[in-house]
Amino acid sequence: MKEIRYVRAITEALDEEIARDEKVFLIGEDIGRGEGIFNTHRGLLAKYGDKRVKDTPISESAFMGLALGAAMAGLRPVVDILFMDFLTVCMDPLINHIAKARYMFGGQYTMPITITASTGAGLGAGPHHSQCLEAWFAHIPGLKVVMPSTPYDVKGLLKSAIRDDNPVLFLYDKTIIAVKGEIPEEEYLVPLGKADIKREGTDVTVVAVSKMVTQALMAADKLAAEGISIEVIDPRTISPLDMETIISSVKKTSKLVIVHEAVKKFGIGAEIAATVVEEAMDYLDAPIKRVGAPFTPVPISPPEEKAYIPSADQIIEAVKEIAS
């Protein structure tokens, strides 16, 4: 095992997949000479040249369309969209074409496109560079949505995404890119659609998404000191969603809290809660609780932004409401 930062796990995955498969190439704004806005593409242009690492104009819709054509021609593009918010300007090629192409052409084409983008608030970037919009894209048949929380999951899931023959939206949280974690020295993959139990517990199941996993684990440490044992589940892949692991945990604990940074209303937490009620309602001993951001644009003011982002204390409060 070796220790690596979250951001370097992204770089290593891209590096290994470009080297492994000559059909893989990278496109995006400032990923070449700029090496990515968060340094995610460090050293890749120098190593592979501009045929494999291509800087683009500031026109997300245009180069998302380029990726569509490249995939139909047999290549495997990895598209960097900097901030998830910018996906809103290329919804037509992504939603109306990339997500539907295999279906529309009866499987005559594969669509091996991986789209990387940063999510989340916490850097004072304001409402146009801080959103968590994963629920939008998880709602679209044909798209897979991945949100890793650790360096181990980042590298393994990104490599799996690039090898997948379907379009995958790979969302990394910009505020935890410096976090360190252990990964194997040798090559490994993490399968899409499989959740991970980050901490086992017996009293309450907490399903946490992306950087909220860290907050959930902090909450678990504090609650353990008070005699409350929580099980922390990281879905890792939002779509397809591993409900089997979540429901199995709920059957054990009989209580459920769901936490994500996206606004609570109409979020992925609602989908998880609804599915648990449909499939395991008889096992619940308390109402399901959701923890999420308030229904407002992301504030740019530092104290308001801090209050906006869900915290370990909010998770603790939700757990205590149903733990007794």
For domain 2-183, give the fold: Rossmann fold (3.40.50)
List the alpha helices (DSSP H) in 101-179.
101-104, 134-138, 151-163
Tell me the pLDDT tens digit for each residue of 210-254: 999 999 999 999 999 999 999 999 999 999 999 999 999 999 999
CATH 3.40.50.970 domain extents, the chain: 2-183
Tell me the pLDDT tens digit for each residue of 198-219: 999 999 999 999 999 999 999 9
Q: What whole-number percentage of the chain has pLDDT above 70? A: 100
Tell me the pLDDT tens digit for each residue of 65-82: 999 999 999 999 999 999
CA distance 177 to 111: 28
Whether residue 159 is predicted with pLDDT greater than 80 in this model: the reply is: yes
CATH 3.40.50.920 domain extents, the chain: 196-323
* CATH class (in words) of the domain with range 196-323: alpha beta
Mean pLDDT along residues 18-35: 96
> Backbone dihedral region of 299: left (phi > 0), alpha (psi from -120 to 50 degrees) or beta?
beta
Q: What was the pLDDT predicted at 324?
A: 77
Instruction: Tell me which residues are annotated as active site.
Output: 60, 129
